[in-house]
Structure 1
Amino acid sequence: MSSSLKTKLDRKLNSYAPLEPTDKTKDFLCDFFKILPPDGKKNLTEDVSGCANDEKLRQLVQSIRTGLLIPMKAQGGKTPTEITPSPRSGVEDSIENLKSLNIEPISRSSQSQLRHHGLERDGNKCLATGKYSHRHAHPRNAITTHLEAAHIIPFALGSFQANNSETVDRHAKIWVNLRHYFPALCNMSFTSEQINSEKNILMLDSQIHTEFGQFRLIFEATGVTHQYRIKTFPDTVTGPIQNLPRNRLVKFRIHKGRWELPDPKLLEIHACIGNFLHLSGQAEIIDKLLNDFEDCGGLAPSGGTKIEDLLAVSSLSLLPSIANETPDSQNSTEQQRRPEKQDAVSGLSLLPPNVDETSDSQKSTEKKQHPTEKEGRLRAKFPDTENKPWAS
């Protein structure tokens, strides 16, 4: 079935005429098809086939970028504001149907209990490195670290203003996209109300959490129940991953309590998006877009950032993405916010993103390590380079 779908997709895309040499519409859709599960491939192929012209294909790409990829990656205070509508048939009905479910927004009120359950389940250890929480019971000579509860489906995708029709609409559009391309979410009846559940979190070293949250570190299934291979990419920060197992294999198990282990289907969705971001070069593109927006609060000085892309993110809803072990850390972050400013493009009131624990020197290093789109596409395609750092 997959081969016939690919043939149908190629037949449609082979007639696509790029607007300019940098137009990657065809590559984007081909790469996205590669990483999707079988039922997601079917839906994408139908979407592409249903596009009446090249402009509709470009609109489809923008709807996936602004209504799925950017919301998933834009953690640390940014949430999508403008989402390009999908040209696929019936999408408006799907949005209205999801809104009719009256899904409630999630909050931080249950975070302390969720962390406690995660620590108990995971034995007070990081599931990637095996390091122990420095604040909880551990062997005398154990290596310890700061542990955080990392959400697989980001917390920001479940937090919205229930009394604001725009945020409710935005929330529905994102989840319609997610459920359309990853139908497993429908099959397991997973909605944003379940983001704060044990099956959607894993306890990770704080620095590993950052890499996981930015899709620079993923857990790929091995065929053995709850065993995963940790995969990193050329732009992964090298310091935190030095303590990963040499064979990159980890096995999850319940140490104590009756809490669910991280759900394999949710981890598969996270891995699919991580692989696509790097295979397609979108990781570098979106990181640059978010950095430009964060630095300038609007258009990049060079004018190189497209208005529709910049309007896809906003720091109106400052939602911290890290569920730390210390609840008070959120309060201290709130106090560090700078005065708000206004976006000259949209006229929206903007607040800068939350202050995280990464030093300025670390942030500077991370920006320098980002590959170009061409490098990202080439190096992500070769297995022998996927776990190696970029050359300095």
Structure 2
Amino acid sequence: MFEHPSDAENPFDSSQTSILTRSGQDFNTQVLPLMCDNSVETADLMREARAVLGIFRLPGKGKLVFPDIRLTYTLLDAMLEGAKISGGERYTASVIIAATINKNDGGINQLVLRTGCSICYGLVLVTAFKSEEKLTSHFTTPTLRNSKFLDGPVPKDRPSSFHDKIIERDGHQCAVTHWWQMGYKGEEVPQNAMKTQLVATHFLRRAIMSGEGKGTKYRLPATLDMLSHYAALPKELAYNFSARLDSPENGMMLRAELHMDYDDFSFCLLATKETNVYTIHWFDEVSGVAAGLEEVRFTDHSGGGIPLPNPKFVAIHAAIAHILHLSGASEVIDAVMDRFFKDGVVPAGRITDDDDMALRMSLLDIDPHQRSLKDLFIEYDQDRMQCT
């Protein structure tokens, strides 16, 4: 993905590329030409990728591999949808198409073995680490096997300026409900204003770039590569990614209930044609405090030029939320966390790579005291097919 002037200056191992591209050189060299061929429209790549996924529906193909087959299908199908939000359509479609080239089985083994548990692992990286405060252009060009990780981990503790700047920018109000911060007595507050406890909420959890744990030198490059490819991160954002996670552009003020809902991907914000205006999309039952609210408008109330939310951060959260809910992967991730980690929370660094994730999923699959992953995905897929 990135070229670094000196490996000696880079303390992180660069061999771990994006979780979608941890494959052989032959496979990787097939992805770039597809992705960079300007003569092929993105819409055409997306159509071809969806046609490729049709192989999963053919009789008998499920015998080639075990439970991962339905996991892979639902994840890839959902990733194509999420890519429309994040900006990673060409990359995601190219990876799917490349897996089928010159394959007698239509590429199903390549898709399953290369992406199944790896994608789920990547989702765990981005979703599972809970915050300790539970309350040819400017885009990067991936060089798939020669990635160079240019950014370090976030500091252990979140700076107080994150909260202070965001609450000032958002005018001491919840971005969704416009309720005021409890205890705030600014002259602009109406006499009968509704007040509540507000929480500075990250669009992307800072723990995804945590430096804690044994797998840091592998996990951080994989995480940044995944986000860079799937979200087409601008170079200036990717090169300083960790620092930007603690910037006001990666947060908004929410009342405590909505903070928990957003952190759990129960709802997301979708960009509109109007800059800094988003529609609220709920995946679960609408929280009572947000009933009837459909739009969020971000404005800098500080008068001091505090950055507004970065559309890329908002879009990545929305894309991941769509993947989790469209694929049913959130159920699997929750099952793994509930089974293997105390209180269902994964401490940063406790999952080191996709092989570790695969092992945990396999153990869950054969544990007689837990629902089988195979049964879970077969049941989910059958329900999904009936709805389409």
Q: What range is the shorter-chain TM-score in?
A: 0.5 to 0.7
The Cα shift of 1:217 comes to 1.3
Give 1:213's aligned residue: 263
SS at match of 1:261: coil
The Cα shift of 1:73 comes to 1.1
Give 1:181's aligned residue: 230
SS at match of 1:36: helix
Give 2:35's aligned residue: none
Match status 1:255 vs 2:301: yes
> What runs of 5+ residues in structure 2 fail to find an aligned partner?
1-40, 133-141, 346-353, 365-376
Query: What do the CA deviations read for 1:239-297 (whole angstroms, capped 9, x no partner)?
Result: xx212261411211111132111112211111111112111111222222222223599
Give 2:166's aligned residue: 118
> What is the alpha-carbon distance in structure 2 between the residues aligned to residue 246 and residue 297 of structure 1?
32
Give 2:340's aligned residue: 293
Give 2:117's aligned residue: 62
Give 1:41's aligned residue: 89
Match status 1:223 vs 2:223: no
1:321-340 pair list within 5 angstroms? none
SS at match of 2:316: helix
SS at match of 1:184: coil
Query: What do the CA deviations read for 1:117-143 (whole angstroms, capped 9, x no partner)?
Result: 111101111111112111433534322
Relative CO higher for 1 or 2, CA cutoff 8 Å, sep ≥ 6? 2
Q: 1:44 to 1:377 in 2, by over 3 A?
A: farther
Query: What do the CA deviations read for 1:346-376 (whole angstroms, capped 9, x no partner)?
Result: xxxxxxxxxxxxxxxxxxxxxxxxx997399
The Cα shift of 1:184 comes to 2.9
- Please tell me whether the aligned partners of residues 174 and 254 of structure 2 are also in contact (alpha carbons under 8 angstroms): yes
The Cα shift of 1:23 comes to 3.0
The Cα shift of 1:93 comes to 1.6
Match status 1:142 vs 2:190: no
Q: 1:221 to 1:376 in 2, by over 3 A?
A: farther
Give 2:29's aligned residue: none
> What is the alpha-carbon distance in structure 1 between the residues aligned to residue 164 and residue 185 of structure 2?
13
> What is the alpha-carbon distance in structure 2 between the residues aligned to residue 376 and residue 263 of structure 1?
38
SS at match of 2:178: coil
Give 1:14's aligned residue: 54
Q: Which amino acid aligns with 2:313?
A: L
RMSD: 3.6
> What is the alpha-carbon distance in structure 2 between the residues aligned to residue 136 and residue 295 of structure 1?
37
> Could you tell me the percent identity over the aligned residues?
24
1:129-168 pair list within 5 angstroms? 129-137=177-185, 139=189, 140-161=191-212, 166-168=215-217
SS at match of 2:129: coil
Q: 1:250 to 1:297 in 2, by over 3 A?
A: closer
SS at match of 1:168: helix
- Please tell me whether the aligned partners of residues 219 and 267 of structure 1 are also in contact (alpha carbons under 8 angstroms): yes
SS at match of 2:69: coil
- Please tell me whether the aligned partners of residues 218 and 231 of structure 1 are also in contact (alpha carbons under 8 angstroms): yes
User: Structure 2 length normalisation: TM-score?
Assistant: 0.67
Of 151, 175, 194, the match for 1:127: 175
> What is the alpha-carbon distance in structure 2 between the residues aligned to residue 373 and residue 130 of structure 1?
41
Query: What do the CA deviations read for 1:188-229 (whole angstroms, capped 9, x no partner)?
Result: 445122100010111111221111111111111122221111
Match status 1:274 vs 2:321: yes
> What runs of 5+ residues in structure 1 fail to find an aligned partner?
79-88, 299-305, 314-343, 346-370, 383-392
Q: 1:119 to 1:182 in 2, by over 3 A?
A: same
> What is the alpha-carbon distance in structure 2 between the residues aligned to residue 160 and residue 208 of structure 1?
28
> What is the alpha-carbon distance in structure 2 between the residues aligned to residue 39 and residue 243 of structure 1?
31
> What is the alpha-carbon distance in structure 2 between the residues aligned to residue 279 and residue 106 of structure 1?
30
Higher alpha-carbon deviation: 53-62 or 185-194: 185-194
- Count of residues paired in the alignment: 297
> What is the alpha-carbon distance in structure 1 between the residues aligned to residue 359 and residue 194 of structure 2?
44
SS at match of 2:110: helix
Match status 1:27 vs 2:74: yes
Q: Which amino acid aligns with 2:171?
A: G
Q: 1:10 to 1:264 in 2, by over 3 A?
A: closer
The Cα shift of 1:181 comes to 0.9
Give 1:385's aligned residue: none
Q: 1:174 to 1:311 in 2, by over 3 A?
A: farther
- Please tell me whether the aligned partners of residues 166 and 253 of structure 2 are also in contact (alpha carbons under 8 angstroms): yes
The Cα shift of 1:310 comes to 7.0
Higher alpha-carbon deviation: 119-128 or 286-295: 286-295
SS at match of 1:14: helix
Give 1:367's aligned residue: none
Give 1:349's aligned residue: none
Q: 1:250 to 1:232 in 2, by over 3 A?
A: same
Q: 1:277 to 1:124 in 2, by over 3 A?
A: same
The Cα shift of 1:105 comes to 2.2
